[in-house]
Structures are given as C-alpha cells and as structure tokens.
C-alpha cells in the first residue's frame, strides 16, 4: 500500500513530467534522429588533396590511394550524415562538416507536413512546460497552504489534461517527421541521396520521453481521480448544503425581522405577525407557515445526510 501511495504522489508526477520535458527538448534540438552514409563520386586528386580522390597521372604519392576493385566502389566515397528536425549535417571530403536546414531538402509536396510536424513538436514541449509549472504551483500550495487544496486539485486536473494532450501531439509529430524524412530520402535533391541510413539515439530518446510523458499524465490524472472524484463530491455536496442552509435561515430571519418592523407587502399586512386563534386551532401567517415548512424540510435533509 505504501508503494501504491508513493506511485500516486503528486511529487512523482512532477518528477516524471520534468524528466519528459527535459528528454523531449534534448531530442528535438538534436540533429541525430537519423544517421547514415551517402555515395558520392570521388573528386580528382590534386597537389593539395591526396586521399579520397581519383588519381591523376603526374600527381605524386598516388600509390598511397586505396582501391577496391572487387566491390566496384573505387571511384566513390561514403561520407556520413546525421539529420534532426531542424538541421542536416554532412561530412565534407574537403572540410570537417557542412550543415544546412532540413527544410531546404524537403520536397515541395512535403513542406506543409514538415512545418506541421515542427509545430506539433513545439506545442508538445510548450504543453509539457505548462504542466510542469502547474504541478510546481500545486506542490507549493500543498506545502504552504494546506487549507486551499481545492485550488491545488484544480491545477492537478489541468496539468493532467495538458500532459496527456502533449504526449499525443508529440507522438503525431514524431511519426509525421519520419514520414517526411523517408520521402526526402527518395525524392530529395541530387546532393542528398543516402546510400544507407538508420535511427540514432535522439529518435529513441524522443520515444522514451513520450512514454514517460504518458506515464506522468496517467499518474497525474490518477491523483485527481483519487482525491476529487472519490472524496471530493461528498465534501462539495456538504459545502453546498451548508450554503443552502445559510440562505434559507437568513431568509427566515429576514422575513421575521420585516414583520417585526412592519415593512411587509399589503397581502401580508392583512395578517398580524402573531398567531391567530380561531377556536381551538392556532393559525399562523402564510409567510411564516411557508418558512417553517422550509425549515422542517431542511432539517429532514440534514437528518438523512447524517444517516
């Protein structure tokens, strides 16, 4: 039971949400969603370049160039590349690395989907940030002002909704980006034709962050369900009954006070404020009889609730 209480604690939900936000932000900003190699023709050798090039007669030290006649790849070089949501970086045979925006490689037919996936990823991080702030405020309210738990539970409910919604948007954004990347590989520009590629660490971190996000959303929603939907209705019903009782009795007291000072409608002035004796029966003014019936009804309701 102690383990289950710990699993349902708001502090654990806050830690999960923060971890999901951190992992999601790191994966989105990274350019290592996919890694691979390209097949690029080797340039001609020159006095300044003696490796990864096609030998030219008259160039010195041409014997140090490696050949692979069996595979037929002697005239090609395979520079590596890594791609993320925003950037694509390629190994350059002349320099260390060359980076460019991924949107410059996307075919025109996939531009809308690419921008939509980026928007979903940004909304994913934004909603998780809002959830973290709400859960942090809830923990502060719980520690500093225990008497205002209703506001804390309200923040908990909004945090649960934002967390689950963020996870769903992130999942859709991940899948849309992978679809755009595969289309770019097959229909992209001529200078970006991957020979082989696969998923890298940022891709797996993104999906792990999604898993933690959904776990945090379920945990936060479980906290709200346990503390509000199971315990809250009785508390809120009692509070509503108290307000109803106050209103009814204030109405009774105010009516009696108006009778005492004489500020009453003409229909009530026809009956004196005191009881009327008619034979053996005692009659009361209509307003007083109505208020007494309301008071009796309220007393009956209170007795039923106490049972």
Residue 247 binned pLDDT confidence (cut-offs 50, 70, 90): low
Is residue 140, in this structure, part of any structural domain at all?
yes
H or E stretch covering 101: strand 97-101
Residue 104 lies in a domain: yes
Residue 297 lies in a domain: yes
Tens of pLDDT, residues 178-221: 999 999 888 888 778 888 888 999 999 999 999 999 988 888 88
Give the separation between CA 259 and CA 168, rounded to whole angstroms: 64
Mean of the pLDDT values across residues 23-39? 91
114 falls within a domain: yes
Which residue among 199, 220, 241 closes a domain? 220
Q: What is the pLDDT of residues 65-116, one digit of tens each?
A: 444 444 455 677 778 888 999 989 887 766 667 888 888 888 888 899 999 9
Domain that holds residue 291: 233-306
Half-sphere exposure of 42 (CA within 13 A, CB side): 20
* For range 31-36, the mean pLDDT: 91
- Whether residue 182 is found in the same domain as residue 281: no
pTM value?
0.64
Are 197 and 184 a contacting pair, CB within 8 Å?
A: no
Same domain, 78 and 152: yes
- Determine how many CB atoms are found less than 10 A away from the CB of residue 179: 14
Shared-domain flag, residues 100 and 207 = yes
Residue 18 is assigned to a structural domain of this protein: yes
Which of 185, 297, 167, 162 has its CA nearest to residue 241? 297
CA dihedral of 255, 260, 262, 266, whole degrees rounded to 10: 50
Same domain, yes or no: 10 and 99: yes
pLDDT tens digits, 145-154: 766 667 777 8
Name which residue leads in pLDDT, 196 or 276. 196
pLDDT for res 3: 47
Q: For the chain, what is the mean pLDDT?
A: 73
How far, CA to CA in Å, does 104 sit from each of 84, 86, 230? 13, 10, 54
- Last residue in a domain, options 191, 220, 249: 220
For 120-151, give the DSSP string: HHHHHHHHHHHHHHHHHHHHHHHHH-GGGHHH
Phi first, then psi: what are they for 41, rounded to 5°?
-60, 140
Contact assessment for residue 260 and residue 307, using Cβ atoms and an 8 Å cutoff: no
Tokens for 281, please give them.
């029966």
């Amino acid at each position: 039971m102690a383990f289950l209480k710990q699993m349902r604690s708001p502090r654990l939900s806050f830690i999960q949400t923060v971890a999901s936000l951190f992992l999601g932000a790191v994966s989105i900003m990274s350019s290592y969603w996919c890694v691979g190699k390209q097949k690029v023709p080797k340039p001609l050798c020159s006095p300044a370049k003696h490796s990864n090039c096609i030998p030219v007669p008259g160039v010195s030290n041409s014997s140090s160039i490696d050949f692979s006649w069996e595979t037929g790849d002697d005239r090609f070089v395979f520079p590596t590349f890594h791609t993320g949501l925003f950037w694509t970086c390629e190994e350059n045979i002349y320099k260390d690395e060359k980076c460019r925006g991924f949107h410059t490689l996307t075919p025109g037919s996939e531009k809308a989907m690419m921008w939509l996936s980026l928007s979903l990823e940004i909304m994913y991080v934004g909603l998780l940030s809002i959830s973290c702030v709400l859960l942090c405020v809830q923990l502060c309210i719980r520690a500093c002002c225990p008497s205002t738990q209703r506001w804390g539970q309200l923040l908990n409910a909004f945090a649960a909704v934002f967390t689950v919604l963020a996870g769903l948007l992130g999942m859709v954004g991940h899948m849309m980006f992978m679809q755009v990347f595969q289309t770019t590989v097959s229909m992209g520009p001529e200078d970006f034709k991957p020979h082989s590629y696969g998923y890298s660490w940022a891709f797996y971190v993104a999906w792990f962050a999604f898993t933690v996000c959904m776990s945090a959303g379920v945990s936060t929603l479980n906290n709200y369900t346990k503390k509000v939907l199971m315990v809250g209705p009785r508390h809120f019903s009692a509070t509503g009954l108290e307000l109803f009782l106050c209103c009814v009795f204030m109405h009774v007291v105010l009516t009696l006070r108006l009778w005492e000072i004489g500020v009453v409608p003409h229909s009530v002035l026809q009956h004196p404020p005191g009881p009327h004796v008619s034979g053996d029966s005692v009659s009361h003014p209509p307003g007083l009889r109505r208020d007494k019936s309301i008071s009796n009804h309220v007393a009956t309701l209170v007795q039923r609730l106490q049972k």
